[in-house]
Structures are given as C-alpha cells and as structure tokens.
C-alpha cells in the first residue's frame, strides 16, 4: 500500500479525515462492513494534545438524552484505563450563587486513552491509520502530506476533521458559529469530587458558562466557554483566571491549586451545518456542528454520527443505499435533540447579558427542569408569553 518513500499506491474506497471520536467510529463501522478505509490525522499522536473536559454521561443517561439514537457499544463499554473518574451529580450555579443539583451518573474520560482506544478498534476492524498526516481536498482528490504523502481518489470522503473542517469548506458550507474555550487541568484543588459543576455569570463567563469537572479527589478540569460577541475586549485567559481566583464559590476551591496543563479550543455552538452530505462527501461530529448547544458536549454525537457515516459510506459502496440517505439517518437518530438544544440556547441567550434576568430564570426552574434543559427538552416556562416578552426586552 505504501512505497518505500511513504507514498500511497493503492485503491482506497473511503478516506476518513480526522481520527477523533467521530473519525475512528466512522472508520471502524465502514471497515467492519468490509470496505477499504484509510483514516488520516495531522496529529503525531492520536488523541494528543487533548482539547476536552472529558465529561461523558453514563450510557443510561445518554439514552435519555438521545432517545432515538442507536448508541454504539463504544459509549457503554469503555475500558477502565480510559476513565479517570466517575461523578454522581451535576450542580448548576446562578450568578447570585444559588445552586441547584440533580443526579447524573457520569464518567470523566482520559481523552488521550479514549481516542487511541477508538483508533485501535478501527485498526483492528481493518482500517489503515496514518498519523502525522494532513489531508487537503483538491479537485475531488485527497492530497496527503506530512509523514505520509500521496494523492488518493476515494469513492467516499468522510470529514471528521473537527470544528474548522477542511472537508466542510470543500462542500461550501459557511464557517460555523463557535464558542471559544479555555481550560486548565488543575491539581491540589478542594472540589466536590462527586459533582460536575456549571457556573453562569455575565462577569465570570460572558455568553457561556464556566465548569469544574473532577478528574480525581483533588484534581479537575476547570474551564470557561464563551462566545466572542460577549467578550467586549476581555481576553479568555483574563476571564478564566478571574473565575479561578475571584469567583465567590469556585475561587474558594480553586485559588490554592496549581495548573498542570492549559487547553484551548473552539466548540460549535450553532447546531448542524447547512449540508452534511454533498456529492461523495459526508461530515460527522464537530465538523458537522453536531454538539449539544446547551452543554457543549460533543463526544456522544460524534460517536453516533461517526458510526452512521461509516455505515452510510459502506451501504452506498455496496449498493444498499444512496449516500444522500446519510442526512435523513442523522435526522432520525438525533436531529430533533440537536435542533432543540440550539433553540434552547437561543432562549437562554436572552438572559446571558443580564445577571438579574439569569437569576430570575434560575429561581423559576426546578432542578428537574434544569436537567430537562440540559437534555434539550423545553420546559413550559420557555414557551410562555411572559418569558418571551420579558426575556427579549432585557439588556442590562
């Protein structure tokens, strides 16, 4: 398949660009169905550097979040070495410091180990994996450069290449609406190891929220995800440092800790991109905008969409389905939940610039209702005329 100078010299049916959760899930599914698959990633080491908090609800929770999705086994049976920690609660803080908590059994993944585990499964299923290799699309062909080089003419291209997807650009999708995130891996912090916490505040997390995801008894991923339009000239490091040092509740837990790693990355915030299939190209995961806009969680959708993309590519090559069916399969499995999460985010946006309104909204919602919002179910309060009138008129 490779000549002595690292150049490709073999027919490949499916090229998967990106070896994150979406790419490896797609490569495994397509290879399992018997088609030849090549997966490339520009990272020298798959899974590194990490740009993620690693929070993944247990499979039973995921099934409630995505009731119509066929969850791959890779979301339920995760090797213990890929799991850093387990949590039992989700606790949400209003700007005034009020807390509401609800039960959510969760796993905190070691994304380095998890991504490699998924890539190894794809390899075991028969996919070729090329790390340290960048893909570019040029007149329908894939040009790869870096450690491996060559020009490939696959029958299907799966773009699982993250938020700034090259494949999506080749499909003429406009750039996605993004949140920007900065996260510290911290040690020696005095956190509640049983709870994942979210903090809302126009001062500490403008246009988004800050989080504490425990990775152990006294270690955590601590981050902030905001939207650029809310920043008013502030830098992301300033915002996260302020949260860590000065937040009246979180600061007590975090200010004495040490930062072991700094991670930065974009998260799609606007839901599905315009086209997830065009010609012989499919998009899955962040590349397709498949991230729950209410939480910024993208791992479950990436794995589910990757599996569907791999099956669609193989089905098309084996004359069992047109490639265009990919979009309707995605819609059937989680289209409603993804669209609703964007709708809800837009409703909550109304109160993002006003701590007063956010406090009012928070006080009006029960813990169960907040959990519903996180699951992209719309509580009645959001559809009431009073909320729509008052919410859209507030700007302080």
Ligand X SMILES: Cc1cc2nc3c(=O)[nH]c(=O)nc-3n(C[C@H](O)[C@H](O)[C@H](O)COP(=O)(O)OP(=O)(O)OC[C@H]3O[C@@H](n4cnc5c(N)ncnc54)[C@H](O)[C@@H]3O)c2cc1C
Q: Determine if 317 is a binding residue for ligand X (CB under 6 A).
A: no
**Cβ neighbours around 320 below 10 Å, total:** 12
Residues counted in the chain: 396
Q: Determine if 95 is a binding residue for ligand X (CB under 6 A).
A: no
Q: Determine if 293 is a binding residue for ligand X (CB under 6 A).
A: no
Q: Determine if 302 is a binding residue for ligand X (CB under 6 A).
A: yes
Nearer to ligand X, 161 or 197 (CB): 161
Among 15, 21, 171, 191, binds ligand X (CB under 6 A): 21
Q: How far is the CB of 359 from ligand X (least distance, A)?
A: 26
**What share of residues in the chain are helix, strand, coil (percent, to 5)?**
35, 25, 35
Among candidate residues 299, 367, 18, the one with its CA nearest the CA of residue 162: 18
Q: Token pair for residue 202? A: 């126009």
Nearer to ligand X, 105 or 263 (CB): 263
Q: Token pair for residue 73? A: 């086994």
Q: Token pair for residue 307? A: 């599996």
Among 13, 14, 16, 19, binds ligand X (CB under 6 A): 19
Q: How far is the CB of 57 from ligand X (least distance, A)?
A: 9
Residue in the shown chain whose Cβ atom is closest to ligand X: 298
Among 128, 134, 307, 345, binds ligand X (CB under 6 A): 134
Q: Determine if 159 is a binding residue for ligand X (CB under 6 A).
A: no
| Stretch touching ligand X by CB under 6 A, among 198-206, 292-300, 318-326, 354-362 | 292-300
* CA dist 298 → 55, 139, 301, 382, 385 (Å): 10, 30, 6, 24, 32
Decide: residue 122, CB within 10 A, 0-12 exposed, 13-18 middle, 19+ buried.
buried
| Stretch touching ligand X by CB under 6 A, among 89-97, 249-257, 284-292, 315-323 | 284-292
Each residue 40-69 as x (binds ligand X by CB under 6 A) or -, in order, gives xxxx-------xxxxxx-------------
Decide: residue 174, CB within 10 A, 0-12 exposed, 13-18 middle, 19+ buried.
exposed
Binding residue count for ligand X, defined by CB under 6 A:
39
Q: Determine if 338 is a binding residue for ligand X (CB under 6 A).
A: no
CA distance 270 to 97: 28
By the 8 A CB rule, do 291 and 267 touch? yes
Judged by the rule CB under 6 A, the positions of this chain that interact with ligand X are 17-23, 40-43, 51-56, 134-135, 160-162, 166, 181, 183, 213, 223, 263, 265, 267, 285-287, 291, 296-299, 302
């Amino acid at each position: 398949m490779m000549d002595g100078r690292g150049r490709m010299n073999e027919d490949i049916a499916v090229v998967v660009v990106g070896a994150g959760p979406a790419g490896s899930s797609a490569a495994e599914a397509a290879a399992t169905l018997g088609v030849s698959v090549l997966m490339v990633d520009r990272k020298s080491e798959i899974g590194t550097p990490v740009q993620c908090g690693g929070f993944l609800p247990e499979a039973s929770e995921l099934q409630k979040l995505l009731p119509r999705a066929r969850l791959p086994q890779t979301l339920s049976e995760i090797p213990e070495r890929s799991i850093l920690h387990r949590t039992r609660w989700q606790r949400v803080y209003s700007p005034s410091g009020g807390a509401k908590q609800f039960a959510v059994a969760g796993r905190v993944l070691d994304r380095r180990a998890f991504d490699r585990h998924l890539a190894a499964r794809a390899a075991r299923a028969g996919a070729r994996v090329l790390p340290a290799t960048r893909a570019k699309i040029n007149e329908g062909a894939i040009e790869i450069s870096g450690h491996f080089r060559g020009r490939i003419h696959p029958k299907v291209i799966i773009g699982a290449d993250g938020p700034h997807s090259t494949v999506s650009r080749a499909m003429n999708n406009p750039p996605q609406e993004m949140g920007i995130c900065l996260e510290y891996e911290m040690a020696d912090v005095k956190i509640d190891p049983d709870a994942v916490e979210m903090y809302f505040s126009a001062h500490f997390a403008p246009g988004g929220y800050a989080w504490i995801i425990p990775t152990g008894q006294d270690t955590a991923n601590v981050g902030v995800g905001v939207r650029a339009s809310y920043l008013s000239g502030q830098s992301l490091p300033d915002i996260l440092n302020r949260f860590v040092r000065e937040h009246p509740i979180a600061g007590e837990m975090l200010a004495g800790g040490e930062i072991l790693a700094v991670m930065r990355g974009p998260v799609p915030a606007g839901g599905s991109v315009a086209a997830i299939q065009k010609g012989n190209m499919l998009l899955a995961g962040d590349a397709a905008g498949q991230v729950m806009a209410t939480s910024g969680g993208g791992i479950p959708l990436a794995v589910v969409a990757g599996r569907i993309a791999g099956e669609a590519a193989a089905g098309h090559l084996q004359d069992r389905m047109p490639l265009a069916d990919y979009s309707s399969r995605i819609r059937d499995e989680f289209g409603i939940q993804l669209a609703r999460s964007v709708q809800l985010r837009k409703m909550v946006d109304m109160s993002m610039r006003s701590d007063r309104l956010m406090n009012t909204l928070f006080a009006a919602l029960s813990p169960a209702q907040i959990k519903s919002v996180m699951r992209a179910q719309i509580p009645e309060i959001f559809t009431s005329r009073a909320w729509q009138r008052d919410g859209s008129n507030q700007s302080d």
